[in-house]
Amino acid sequence: MSRLQTPIRRNDTVLVTAGKDRGKRGRVLKVLPENNRLVIEGVNFISRHTRPNPSKNVKGGIMKREAPLHASNVQLVCPECGARTRIGHRTLGDGRKVRICRKCEGVVDK
């Protein structure tokens, strides 16, 4: 399987566009480029049944945690205009290549 590159990076704010959590916004916690998935804060919770392990100080029970979501089911939220948008690229005068919002032409990168 080829490694796809998503334009979304860690700590970006994204909006879920498909699935059971459609319409929710969250911050990207982890990017998994090998299978084109993202872990988003507060989105796509699963129940994990864990067995207690005193040597590792793990309590048993049912734990809720975020599961990875496919990158095609989210869109970036522009930090300047606040709208969900596609991402473009532009080279600035000082030679840096940055991501830009396709709606307001604002720079997405800090």
**HSE (CB half, 13 Å, CA atoms) of 44?**
24
Residue ranges per structural domain of the chain: 1-52+60-77, 79-110
Which pLDDT belongs to residue 99? 94
Fold (CATH) for 1-52+60-77: SH3 type barrels. (2.30.30)
* Beta-carbon contacts of residue 53 (< 8 Å; ≥ 6 apart): 60
Which helix H or strand E contains 53, and what residues bound it? none
Residue pLDDT, tens place only, 12-40: 999 999 999 999 999 999 999 999 999 99
How much is the pLDDT for 10? 95
Spans in the chain with pLDDT lower than 50: none
pLDDT the model gives residue 4:
66
pLDDT at 31 (0 to 100): 95
Residue 64 φ/ψ, nearest 5 degrees: -100, 135
pTM recorded for the entire structure: 0.83
Tokens of 101: 């919002």
